[in-house]
């Protein structure tokens, strides 16, 4: 079984590198650190390589060990977490491509299964929740530090247990950690409620710019390179902004277009409240994600990108009855 193979590869490897998707969110960073803590218990000193991530996650146990480059040019084993496709390992793919063996642990339903061993649970609400079952199988002790990382990932991807996909196990695990002394409300504050001033500046811009389509059921806003120049280019300052668009009364689908330097286009972050499967839309443009949260790259000027994504979403929305 895959988990036996994964354990065997970890035990065999002399050098291990752990990687996650570009513009990493809390689930990506926390999954990486969780795997680092777990393999430590198996006697392995793995490198977590994340070239750019938000300083918001620096409180996570082990975050001080995160490297922007690997210690070795090539590793015996590369483990990718919270990443559905090799394309999304931007800046780290060389470590994956040159590793002797590769493992992917993930929860994205649209998944290219790009590793030698792929452990993917497409219904888990966070990659960190997938790790729980794996660690239990390996006999890893989920102590307060490891548990804090795992829970931080779950809190990020479930919006603090709000979004679909939360299971009884999610709460059972959270309850177990509460017993171990993890402060869940503090963790929620650190991961979700800790806005930078730049984030608030972005919010202001977005509120001014929201455009509604489809009888107010589709809402779109954007951030340009000029905005990033003026406000902040720090990774993380523009995280989670799309949620404020989805929260608006009557909105079923929300889109935030973020212009990406040197690409000639925009990254689209999409969210839906309920029925609309935005991952289907992401997939049409070579991206992906989950039913209610997905992303993709849309080439072109602002007008071109906006028109493209709006027309694709409207086509998709026509399939539903609201
Ligand atoms: P984001 O809008 O960047 O917060 O992403 C929402 C969800 O979609 C996350 O689970 C991402 O991992 C996933 N996602 C975003 N962009 C892509 C992409 N280009 N390809 C595949 N999945 C993506
Ligand atoms: Mn993620
Ligand atoms: Mn995730």
25 with 165, same domain: the answer is yes
- Model confidence at 322, in pLDDT bands (50, 70, 90)? confident
- For ligand 1, whether the C-beta of 81 sits within 6 Å is no
203 with 185, same domain: the answer is no
- For ligand 1, whether the C-beta of 289 sits within 6 Å is yes
Which among 268, 304, 273, 272 is positioned nearest to 283, based on CA atoms? 268
- Model confidence at 292, in pLDDT bands (50, 70, 90)? very high
| CATH number, domain containing residue 86 | 3.90.1640.10
This prediction has a pTM of 0.96
186 with 208, same domain: the answer is no
Residue 58 CA to ligand 1 center (angstroms) comes to 22
Task: Give dist(CA 308, CA 303) in Å, integer.
Answer: 8
73 with 130, same domain: the answer is yes
Residue 297 CA to ligand 1 center (angstroms) comes to 10
In Å, what is the CA distance from 191 to each residue of 50, 177, 187? 18, 17, 6
Task: Say whether pLDDT at 321 is over 90.
Answer: no
CB atoms within 10 A of CB 286: 11
SS3 37: helix
Task: Kindly state whether residue 284 falls inside one of the protein's structural domains.
Answer: yes
Over residues 125-157, the pLDDT tens digits come to 999 999 999 999 999 999 999 999 999 999 999
- For ligand 1, whether the C-beta of 296 sits within 6 Å is yes
Residue 64 CA to ligand 1 center (angstroms) comes to 26
Task: Kindly state whether residue 147 falls inside one of the protein's structural domains.
Answer: yes
- For ligand 1, whether the C-beta of 287 sits within 6 Å is yes
Residue 107 CA to ligand 3 center (angstroms) comes to 7
> Which of 192, 223, 247 is a domain's end point?
192
62: left (phi over 0), alpha (psi -120 to 50) or beta: left
8 with 138, same domain: the answer is yes
316, two tokens: 């998709």
> Which of 161, 192, 223 is a domain's end point?
192
Task: Say what the pLDDT of residue 164 is.
Answer: 84
Q: Are 96 and 35 in contact (CB under 8 A)?
A: no
Q: Whose CA is nearest to atom 18 of ligand 1?
A: 287
Buried b (16+ CB within 10 A) or exposed e, 177-198: beeeebebeebbebbbeeebeb
With a CB cutoff of 8 Å and minimum separation 6, the contacts of 255 are 218, 219, 220, 221, 242, 245, 268, 269, 270, 271, 309, 310, 313
Whole-number percent of the chain with pLDDT over 70: 100
Which among 47, 43, 42 is positioned nearest to 20, based on CA atoms? 47
Q: Whose CA is nearest to atom 20 of ligand 1?
A: 287
Q: Whose CA is nearest to atom 15 of ligand 1?
A: 295
Residue 171 CA to ligand 2 center (angstroms) comes to 20
Task: Give dist(CA 175, CA 278) in Å, integer.
Answer: 32
Task: Kindly state whether residue 137 falls inside one of the protein's structural domains.
Answer: yes
Task: Kindly state whether residue 322 falls inside one of the protein's structural domains.
Answer: no
Question: How large is the average pLDDT for residues 197-202?
Answer: 97
Q: Whose CA is nearest to atom 13 of ligand 1?
A: 289
- The total number of structural domains in the chain stands at 2
Over residues 225-237, the pLDDT tens digits come to 999 999 999 988 9
140 with 105, same domain: the answer is yes
CB atoms within 10 A of CB 51: 15
Question: How large is the average pLDDT for residues 80-92?
Answer: 95
207 with 177, same domain: the answer is no
Task: Give dist(CA 292, CA 253) in Å, integer.
Answer: 9
Which among 102, 105, 103 is positioned nearest to 122, based on CA atoms? 105
138 with 286, same domain: the answer is no
Whole-number percent of the chain with pLDDT over 90: 96
Cα of first residue to Cα of last residue in the chain, in angstroms, is 43
272 with 138, same domain: the answer is no
Identify the bridge partners of residue 117 per DSSP, sorted by sequence position. 103
64 with 174, same domain: the answer is yes
216 with 134, same domain: the answer is no
- For ligand 1, whether the C-beta of 89 sits within 6 Å is no
Range of the domain at 158: 2-192
Task: Say whether pLDDT at 98 is over 90.
Answer: yes
| CATH number, domain containing residue 241 | 3.10.310.30
57 with 130, same domain: the answer is yes
Residue 82 CA to ligand 2 center (angstroms) comes to 5
């Amino acid at each position: 079984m895959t988990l036996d193979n994964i354990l065997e590869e970890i035990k065999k490897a002399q050098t291990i590198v752990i990687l996650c998707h570009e513009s990493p969110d809390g689930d990506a960073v926390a999954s990486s650190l969780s795997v680092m803590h777990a393999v430590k218990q198996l006697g392995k000193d793995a490198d977590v390589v994340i070239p750019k991530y938000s300083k918001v996650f620096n409180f996570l146990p082990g975050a001080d060990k995160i490297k922007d480059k690997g210690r070795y040019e090539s590793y015996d084993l590369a483990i990718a977490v919270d990443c559905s496709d090799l394309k999304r390992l931007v800046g780290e793919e060389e470590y994956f491509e040159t590793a002797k063996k590769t493992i992917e642990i993930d929860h994205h339903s649209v998944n290219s299964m790009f590793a030698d061993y792929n452990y993917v649970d497409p219904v888990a609400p966070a990659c960190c929740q997938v790790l729980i079952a794996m660690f239990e199988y390996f006999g890893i002790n989920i102590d307060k530090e490891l548990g804090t990382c795992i829970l931080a990932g779950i809190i990020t991807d479930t919006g603090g247990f709000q979004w679909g996909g939360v299971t009884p196990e999610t709460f059972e695990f959270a309850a177990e950690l509460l017993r171990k002394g993890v402060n869940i409300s503090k963790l929620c504050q650190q991961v979700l409620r800790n806005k930078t001033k730049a984030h608030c500046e972005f919010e202001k811009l977005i509120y001014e710019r929201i455009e509604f389509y489809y009888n107010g059921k589709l809402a779109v806003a954007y951030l340009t390179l000029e905005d990033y120049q003026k406000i902040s280019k720090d990774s993380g300052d523009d995280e989670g902004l799309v949620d404020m668009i989805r929260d608006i009364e009557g909105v079923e689908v929300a889109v935030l277009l973020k212009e990406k330097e040197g690409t000639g286009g925009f990254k689209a972050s999409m969210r839906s409240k309920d029925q609309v499967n935005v991952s289907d839309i992401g997939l049409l443009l070579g991206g992906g994600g989950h039913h209610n949260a997905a992303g993709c790259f849309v080439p072109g000027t602002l007008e071109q990108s906006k028109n493209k994504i709006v027309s694709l979403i409207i086509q998709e929305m026509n399939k539903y009855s609201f």
